[in-house]
Amino acid sequence: MTTASLNRAFALLLWRDLLLAFRRRTELLNPLLFFVLVTTLFPLGIGADPALLRQIAPGIIWVAALLAAMLSLDSVFRSDFEDGSLEQFLLSAQPLSVLVLAKVIVHWLITGLPLLIVAPLLGLLLNLPGESIATLMLTLLLGTPVLSLVGAIGVALTVGLRRGGMILSLLVLPLYIPVLIFAADAVQSAGAGLSISAHLSLLAALLMLSVSLSPLATAAALKISLG
């Protein structure tokens, strides 16, 4: 009975958040545009030499993805915090960490997944070869959920603050570094024709670790932030 109601609460929350996001469709585009724009700035700043661009493309795309994920983090808890539903989640009989996981999954679906879809386009723009683009998408698939999960801890800690944006970046970006290292290196290795299974295994390990630990930390942080 309790498991059934937990599953139901999870599914309902997932559906509610997706619906809310869908009602504000134009906002969905913003992180995506940001991702594309930041990536476009680099060739303008560095120069359009195709060989150079191909070499730095994995880093550029991943840094842009990191920033886009971070800037969109605020939406995970912000509106729920402002209209008071976050407090209701805290009071609900269901474990907060499971509800948090539902919210993070929605956040990934509306901000992480679109990045995955435009990434090949950016790869083409930056002159990446085919196998690198495939690897890029694989790393984004494994890496962006980690960004959402780890970022949720940071948002939960800063949700009560009026100007939490700058602090959020200070809290979250250092924790993103391992993802950046493994993912960008995987894309680079794929371009050089090397094996990338070690990179992918490590990224998957990071994903497993953050799926299991981050909702707990996020729930604890939310309880502290909301007193």
Distance between start and end Cα atoms, the chain: 30
Neighbours of 146 (CB within 10 A): 27
Q: Which residues contact 174 (CB under 8 A, 6 or more apart)?
A: none
| Choices 72-80, 86-94, 125-133, 155-163; region in contact with other proteins by CB under 8 A | 155-163
Considering the rule CB under 8 A, would residue 188 count as an interface residue with other proteins? no
CB nearer to other proteins: pick between 118 and 204: 204
Site string for other proteins, 161-180 (x = CB under 8 A): x--x--x--xx-xxx-xx--
124 forms part of the interface with other proteins (CB under 8 A): no
Q: Is residue 157 within the footprint of other proteins (CB under 8 A)? A: yes
Q: How far is the CB of 165 from other proteins (least distance, A)?
A: 11
Examine residue 96 and tell whether it contacts other proteins (CB under 8 A). no
Nearer to other proteins, 122 or 172 (CB): 172
- Name every residue whose Cβ is closer than 8 Å to that of residue 21 and which is 6 or more positions away in sequence: 27, 28, 106, 110
Among 159, 166, 5, residue whose Cα is nearest residue 71: 166
